[in-house]
């Protein structure tokens, strides 16, 4: 695994030294428009499936009463924010948006956050299994075959963390939480109810699998649009996931190129300019699609959420006065 890492770093250095911006621009301009459209459509389908996955997790955590269309709109707005903000800070936007809906205001920020944590947990588990399957089952050419041990190591760490969490939950760690924080912790745990509900977890996982399949097909179409082998989509997906583990620039820009460009060059002999053009196109598809759909959702749902938030703000003092 160390040899593979050194090879990737060396290839990245060589790629930077021999990079021709004009060739990258030419590769971007020469991409097949029909395959680009397919890549965009499959990306949108995958993110919509991910939104349905989040909906299942929210409902399992007790955040109910928000129409499916509204939740999908909020999901797309949050995706747009995540593509613009570093370190997935856009997820705070997601919590704030749900909080503005009457059903979200009733559930409370802690329960909403717990639902988001449950969603991230199920998503991480499904994605980790997908990466493991792609790296262990699908043969990777050349030095890239060593990446399977990197993926296996990551899965082992995730499994150990999950086992530790389960053992800690069974033994009861509530007494170690300060008294003032127990109420918030209880709401947070209730919001993450999908992690303790096998039926809801299965439903969420199925949506997660659908999202991953659509994402891999999107990457395959994008690779084919640049004349690259579509079979590299599995490797590309795995590397994009692994590069996203480390918080960084919006959309994983920079870290993704550092891993993806040399890996594609080493494994599939892809020209550096073409590999970089593909990586930039991955970012453009995610950013462009998320912003277009997210802004449309914001224009449609934004005024309604503002009106709902105003109604909640007016109703809360009235309710408080009635109870005194």
pLDDT digits (tens, 9 = 90+) for 249-265: 666 667 788 888 888 88
Cβ atoms within 10 Å, residue 124: 16
Span of 54-58, 73-77, 220-224, 236-240 with lowest mean pLDDT:
236-240
Span of 13-17, 229-233, 307-311 with lowest mean pLDDT:
13-17
| Higher local confidence (pLDDT), 92 or 319 | 92
Do the beta carbons of residue 249 and residue 255 sit within 8 Å?
Answer: yes
According to DSSP, residue 177 is labeled S
Residue 6 lies inside a defined structural domain of this protein: no
CA distance 197 to 172: 18
CA 161 to chain centre: 20
CA distance 24 to 272: 9
Q: Using the predicted structure, report yes or no on whether residue 309 has a pLDDT greater than 60.
A: no
Do the beta carbons of residue 250 and residue 85 sit within 8 Å?
Answer: yes
Return the pLDDT at 159: 65
Q: Which helix (H) or strand (E) holds 267?
A: helix 255-268
Residue 61 lies inside a defined structural domain of this protein: yes
Please count the helices (runs of H) and the strands (runs of E) in the chain.
Answer: 13, 0
CA distance 80 to 296: 11
CA distance 88 to 309: 25
Do the beta carbons of residue 253 and residue 287 sit within 8 Å?
Answer: no
pLDDT in tens, 91-143: 899 999 999 899 999 999 999 999 999 999 999 889 988 887 877 766 666 55
What is the dihedral sign for C-alpha 244, 298, 192, 89? positive
Q: Using the predicted structure, report yes or no on whether residue 161 has a pLDDT greater than 90.
A: no
Residue 9 lies inside a defined structural domain of this protein: no
Structure tokens at 120: 């991230």
Residue 5 lies inside a defined structural domain of this protein: no
Q: What domain count does the chain have?
A: 1
**Which residue, chain included where needed, has tokens 């997908």?**
130
Return the pLDDT at 152: 63
Phi, psi (degrees; rounded to nearest 5) at 228:
-95, 160
Contacts from 101-104 at CB under 8 Å and sequence distance 24+?
A: 101/66, 101/70, 101/305, 101/308, 102/65, 102/308, 102/311, 102/312, 103/63, 103/64, 103/65, 103/66, 104/63, 104/66
Q: How confident is the model at residue 225 (pLDDT cuts 50, 70, 90)?
A: very high
Residue 17 lies inside a defined structural domain of this protein: no
pLDDT in tens, 240-299: 887 777 666 666 667 788 888 888 888 888 888 888 889 889 989 999 999 999 999 999
| Higher local confidence (pLDDT), 113 or 144 | 113
| Higher local confidence (pLDDT), 300 or 7 | 300
What global pTM score does this model have? Answer: 0.81
Domain containing 176 equals 23-306
What does pLDDT average to over the chain? 79
């Amino acid at each position: 695994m160390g040899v593979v890492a050194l090879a990737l770093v060396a290839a990245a250095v060589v790629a930077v030294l021999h990079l021709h911006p004009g060739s990258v621009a030419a590769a971007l301009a020469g991409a097949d428009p029909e395959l680009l459209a397919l890549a965009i459509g499959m990306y949108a389908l995958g993110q919509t499936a991910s939104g349905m996955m989040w909906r299942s997790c929210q409902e399992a955590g007790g955040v109910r009463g928000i129409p499916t269309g509204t939740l999908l709109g909020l999901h797309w707005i949050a995706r747009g924010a995540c593509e613009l903000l570093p370190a997935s800070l856009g997820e705070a936007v997601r919590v704030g948006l749900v909080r503005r809906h009457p059903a979200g205001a009733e559930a409370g920020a802690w329960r909403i956050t717990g639902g988001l944590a449950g969603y991230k947990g199920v998503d991480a588990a499904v994605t980790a299994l997908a990466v493991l399957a792609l790296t262990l089952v699908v043969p990777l050419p050349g030095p890239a075959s060593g990446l399977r041990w990197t993926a296996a190591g990551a899965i082992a760490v995730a499994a150990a963390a999950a086992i530790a969490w389960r053992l800690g939950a069974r033994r009861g760690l509530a007494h170690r939480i300060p008294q003032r924080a127990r109420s918030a912790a209880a709401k947070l745990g209730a919001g993450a109810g999908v992690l303790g509900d096998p039926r809801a977890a299965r439903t969420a996982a199925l949506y997660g699998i659908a999202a991953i399949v659509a994402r891999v097909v999107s990457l395959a179409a994008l690779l084919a649009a640049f004349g690259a082998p579509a079979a590299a989509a599995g490797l590309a997906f795995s590397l994009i996931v692994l590069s996203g583990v480390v918080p960084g620039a919006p959309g994983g820009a920079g870290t993704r190129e550092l891993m993806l460009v040399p890996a594609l060059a080493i494994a599939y002999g892809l020209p550096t300019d073409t590999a970089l053009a593909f990586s930039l196109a991955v970012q453009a598809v995610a950013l462009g699609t998320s912003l277009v759909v997210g802004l449309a959702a914001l224009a449609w749902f934004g005024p309604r959420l503002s009106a709902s938030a105003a109604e909640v703000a007016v109703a809360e003092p009235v309710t408080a006065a009635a109870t005194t």
